[in-house]
Structure 1
Amino acid sequence: MHARAVAATTTALVGTAVLLSPVSAARAGDAVEPTVIAHRGASAYAPENTLASIDRAARMGFSWVENDVQRTKDGELVVIHDDSLARTTNVEDVFPGRAPWKVKDFTAAEIARLDAGSWFSPRYAGTRVPTLAQYMRRVDHNHEKLLLEIKNPELYPGIERQTLALLGNQGWLDRRHLGRLIVQSFSADSVRIVHGLKPCVTTAFLGRPSVVQLPGYARFTDLINPSFGSISASYVSAVHGLKGPHDKPLGVFAWTVNDAATARRAADEGVDGVISNRPDVVRAALSAN
């Protein structure tokens, strides 16, 4: 009985260490520099949220990528930022009579027909909107780490449970992968649901709660990820002063930082991570800071 209790305690401690490693790794940047996250992949250089974009990030040497997940009419999870397909695909040409071309109104098979690369550059003609399953396999193949945003959860009831189920099926909820995964959302309710369903998953809230509100958020999120223009060194310090649901200091990943001067200011304000469309520009600025 005693041996089983010790083993259970050891397993729990190891699991906690694994799940906190994204935040811990970022906080280790206090002595070096913030982690750089490629926003929607290397989205200044390849069409956002595509396999090409995360491949480009990998070739550039970035281990962290960010993406967005939404759901099709027939229940497939796909990787795309907007709730409409119009900006980043040729949906208006392929399905001209179906405005406003919302993701939720198209089946996965219909979305798979769309060109998600030509809008960016002729070089990427024929690039497709990936399913989340395809995306996760490519992230794993590239040995990358993922900051996954549940987008517009109010449009997709139950998307948190579905996303976690898919992550589990893809092997991303095992001990080897948990340190490479953060799930975030602009919806506090969505982040709270993810934490409640899978406390082992590192979570982040997208936004800037007031300092007074932060203790409430610290009950269910490990990071506060605000827009860079909304924060200050004192705010970052206030976030760091609180411990999250896993008894570690909260982290801060700021977005979207695309130039050297802003990257240096972000580092000076003490953020743990910088989310960028131009991760190479940010990396160079931070390395020289």
Structure 2
Amino acid sequence: MTSTVAHADEGLDVIAHRGSSGMAPENTAAAVDLAVAQRADFVEIDVQRTKDGKLVNFHDCTMERTTDIEEVFPDRPRYRVSDFTWAELRRLDAGSWFHEDYAGERLITVDDVISRIRNTDTGLLAEISPCSHYTGIATDLAESLLDKPRYVRRALAEEQLAVQSFQVDDAQEFQALMPEVPIGFLDAERPTDEELVQLSTWADQVNPQYTVTDQALVDRVHELGMDINVWTVDEPGAMRRMAGLGVDGIITDFPQSLTQH
């Protein structure tokens, strides 16, 4: 990456999308650890809930794409995280799909993610899953964090913790329980000015897809007192363009492109 892309110490947060997911299987310990080693400012994760109530780091609403779940459990009618216990999910290979070097890489819980980053300089950006079959997952995440007061206090003091969601209801449900944690609204479309004004009454971040982001949007979000993190930016030219607009953070599969000089 050329020097025209601002580094994090110049005010741009480098946010590792599902960990360093361009170089390791997404949302695994390998991807989280690599993001930390690459000096990402945040690891972005996805929060889902198992059948027995364990919060796990997994993105898709079903598990076929990134695990061997169909081979391990061939007779199950559905392959959602919520259809399996944590003991069952621990049996899955979540790495071979990416590369044979990661064969046997396991799924990890949200607690596992926190244990891997809590004594590092890398923060946590947790996305509440938008998968429609969940209810109460925002409350579950808040209660899990409330059970870790020492971690939360330190992370907030160092501006290393935030939560985001595509669902306004989930974001506000979380915020009601943990108002001190910065909350972001994810948007695949360009928010209207009316939507931005409404968001500014409760949200700390507006996090749109980078393809709908321009200078006017960045300036308006800032004018309304919010930050803006754009996703998912992997191409160097797009990284330079977004940095030039003055966004607050870039969510990327390749954090090393922004952290290495």
Q: Same fold (TM over 0.5)?
A: yes
Which residue does the alignment assign to 1:200? 180
Q: Which amino acid aligns with 1:190?
A: D
Tell me the distance in 1 between the aligned counterparts of 2:132 and 2:74: 27
Tell me the distance in 2 between the aligned counterparts of 1:267 and 1:172: 33
Q: Which amino acid aligns with 1:262?
A: A
Q: 2:167 aligns with which of 187, 197, 209?
A: 187
Which residue does the alignment assign to 2:217? 235
Which residue does the alignment assign to 2:144? 166
- Could you tell me how far 1:282 is from its partner in structure 2? 3.5
Q: After the TM superposition, which of the residue ranges 172-181 and 71-80 deviates more from structure 2?
A: 172-181
Coordinate RMSD, CA, aligned: 2.0
Which residue does the alignment assign to 1:252? 228
- Could you tell me how far 1:201 is from its partner in structure 2? 0.8
Which residue does the alignment assign to 1:124? 102
Secondary structure of the corresponding residue to residue 149 of structure 2: coil
Closer, same or farther: CA 62–196 of 1 in aligned 2, 3 Å = same
Larger CA Rg, structure 1 vs 2:
1
Tell me the distance in 2 between the aligned counterparts of 1:31 and 1:234: 24
Tell me the distance in 1 between the aligned counterparts of 2:232 and 2:199: 22
User: Does residue 1:89 correspond to 2:67, yes or no?
Assistant: yes
Closer, same or farther: CA 176–30 of 1 in aligned 2, 3 Å = closer
Closer, same or farther: CA 174–146 of 1 in aligned 2, 3 Å = closer
Structure 2 gap segments, 5+ residues each: 1-6
Q: Is the 8 A contact 2:40 2:259 kept in 1?
A: no
Closer, same or farther: CA 44–172 of 1 in aligned 2, 3 Å = farther
CA deviation map 1:34-60 (0-9, x unaligned): 211111110011111111111111111
Tell me the distance in 2 between the aligned counterparts of 1:30 and 1:62: 8
Which residue does the alignment assign to 1:62? 40
- Could you tell me how far 1:154 is from its partner in structure 2? 3.8
Q: Is the 8 A contact 1:153 1:187 kept in 2?
A: no
User: Does residue 1:139 correspond to 2:117, yes or no?
Assistant: yes
- Could you tell me how far 1:67 is from its partner in structure 2? 0.5
Which residue does the alignment assign to 2:4? none
Q: Is the 8 A contact 1:118 1:125 kept in 2?
A: yes
Which structure's relative contact order is higher, taking Cα pairs within 8 Å and 6+ residues apart?
2
- Could you tell me how far 1:100 is from its partner in structure 2? 3.5
Which residue does the alignment assign to 1:272? 248
Matches within 5 A, 1:149-160: 149-152=127-130, 154-160=132-138
Secondary structure of the corresponding residue to residue 155 of structure 2: helix
Q: Aligned residues: percent identity?
A: 40
Q: 1:115 aligns with which of 93, 97, 116?
A: 93
User: Does residue 1:222 correspond to 2:204, yes or no?
Assistant: yes
Q: Is the 8 A contact 1:259 1:282 kept in 2?
A: no
Q: What TM-score, normalized to structure 2?
A: 0.90
Tell me the distance in 1 between the aligned counterparts of 2:140 and 2:241: 38
Q: Is the 8 A contact 2:92 2:106 kept in 1?
A: yes
Closer, same or farther: CA 48–263 of 1 in aligned 2, 3 Å = same
Secondary structure of the corresponding residue to residue 65 of structure 1: strand
- Could you tell me how far 1:99 is from its partner in structure 2? 4.2
Which residue does the alignment assign to 1:7? none
Tell me the distance in 2 between the aligned counterparts of 1:194 and 1:83: 20
Q: Is the 8 A contact 1:38 1:66 kept in 2?
A: yes
Q: Which amino acid aligns with 1:210?
A: T
Tell me the distance in 2 between the aligned counterparts of 1:127 and 1:230: 35
The structure with the largest helix share of the pair is 1
Tell me the distance in 1 between the aligned counterparts of 2:137 and 2:168: 14
